[in-house]
Amino acid sequence: MRKLSILALITCLFASTFAIANEVNVFNARHYKADAEMYGKFTAATGIKVNLINGKSGALEKRIAEEGADSSADLYITADAGRCGAMDVKGLLQSGLTSGTIKASVPKNFRTSKWVGVAKRARIIYYSPERVSGAELSGLTYEGLADPKWKGRIVIRKSSNIYNKSLVASLIANNGKEATAEWAKGVVANMARDSKGNDRAQIMAVAAGEADIAVANTYYLALMLSGKKGAEQQAAAKKVKAFFPNQQDRGTHMNISCAALVKGAPNKANAIALVDFLLSPESQEHFTNNTFEFPMISGVSPNPLVVNNLGLDFKQDLKTKVSKYGKHQAAALEIMTAAGWK
């Protein structure tokens, strides 16, 4: 019998009777091939096998819910805090996702005892420098997107998109439901067209002159500039500039890729060990260089495409706890739907 690592032996002592001590089951809704390479490095370093179950968020969440106590899931990893929050509301997560590494590395507003952020992104404004003046942008906030001066000039994804639900949830947390409902009506009135397409499609719409400003996540611009999505998208990305809203008050809306500890996880100790690994400098550099997200920990720099085209000197919203996104998610969708947001 091969010799087990110290970490694996510790796992044997603390894992449940029915757990296989040297494995961890990850239900993964992040669709990045590079992530699998990172899990391979974890296995090489610890001897713990990562069983990766890939799928869309909705399908994975439904499976975990239906399997209940029989679920093999240890960690649920997805690309939005709102999804982790919704899982918590459904009672599908458990406390105990804590360690010295997590507490030291992750700011309190980006974690709970049930889930923790492993990478960050901001949802910002992209604009055409040919059609949008510096004076128009000065002091611009998310709230300001409802200003009539932007009538017929804005593109943004559908109301059903999780990133938009989290953004609107953050507005509810800061401004209340009534004010956010009025804001949503103003944004819909300012749309250049009905919402359609992904975040990259919004950026391309601005580049093509279909709109003057778009709302999209930060990593998409770097992804397009990298050439990984083709020459057409690379050229489009070069025609827009980035702007970070709310710099004079709470800061720009932040979201996370999060890892959540599933209720009844059979390999809890291994799950925590994997999250610790994802917060290591090696893993954080892997995130930044392959997915163009912002690192969660200090001391790691974003990819040069992010630094050179988005910059680092912006105020993040560290006031709004991302745990509120899940709590206000249903209200956010209700508000957008009532406003006529497609």
With beta carbons less than 8 A apart as the criterion, state whether 295 and 110 touch: no
Which pair of structure tokens corresponds to residue 235? 């050229």
Confidence band, pLDDT 50/70/90 cuts, at residue 146: very high
In angstroms, the CA 221 to CA 311 distance is 12
Q: What 3-state DSSP class applies to 197?
A: coil
Per residue in 162-216, pLDDT (tens digit) is 999 999 999 999 999 999 999 999 999 999 999 999 999 999 999 999 999 999 9
For the residues of 68-124, what is the DSSP string, one character each? GGG---SEEEES-HHHHHHHHHTT-B-S----HHHHHHS-GGGB-SSEEEEEEEEEE
* pLDDT of 104 above 60: yes
Amino acid at site 42? F
* Mode of pairing for the β-strands spanning 23-28 and 75-78: parallel
Q: What is the dihedral of CA 270, 94, 320, 133, to 10 degrees?
A: 60
With beta carbons less than 8 A apart as the criterion, state whether 39 and 282 touch: no
* pLDDT of 7 above 50: no
Burial class for 271, CB neighbours closer than 10 Å (0-12, 13-18, 19+): buried
- The pLDDT, as a whole number, for residue 18 is 41
With beta carbons less than 8 A apart as the criterion, state whether 259 and 15 touch: no
**Percent with pLDDT over 90 in the chain:** 90
Q: Measured on CA atoms in the order 172, 173, 178, 180, is the torsion positive or negative? A: negative
Neighbours of 146 (CB within 10 A): 20
Please report, for residues 148, 160, 171, 335, 339, the alpha-carbon distance to residue 178 in angstroms, rounded to integers and kept in the order given.
19, 20, 11, 9, 12
Please report, for residues 72, 185, 329, 339, the alpha-carbon distance to residue 173 in angstroms, rounded to integers and kept in the order given.
34, 18, 11, 18
pLDDT (average), residues 156-166: 97
Alpha helices (runs of H) in 96-254, residue ranges in sequence order = 100-105, 134-137, 162-175, 177-190, 199-207, 218-225, 231-237
Return the minimum-mean-pLDDT range out of 26-35, 159-168, 293-302.
26-35
pLDDT (average), residues 215-222: 97
Comparing CA positions, the residue from 270, 251, 192 lying closest to residue 22 is 270
Comparing CA positions, the residue from 56, 89, 29, 64 lying closest to residue 330 is 89
According to DSSP, the residues that pair with 294 across neighbouring strands are: 120
- The pLDDT, as a whole number, for residue 288 is 94
Domains and CATH numbers, the chain: 6-120+256-300 (3.40.190.10), 121-253+316-338 (3.40.190.10)
* pLDDT of 92 above 80: yes
- The pLDDT, as a whole number, for residue 3 is 40
In angstroms, the CA 318 to CA 248 distance is 13
- The pLDDT, as a whole number, for residue 311 is 82
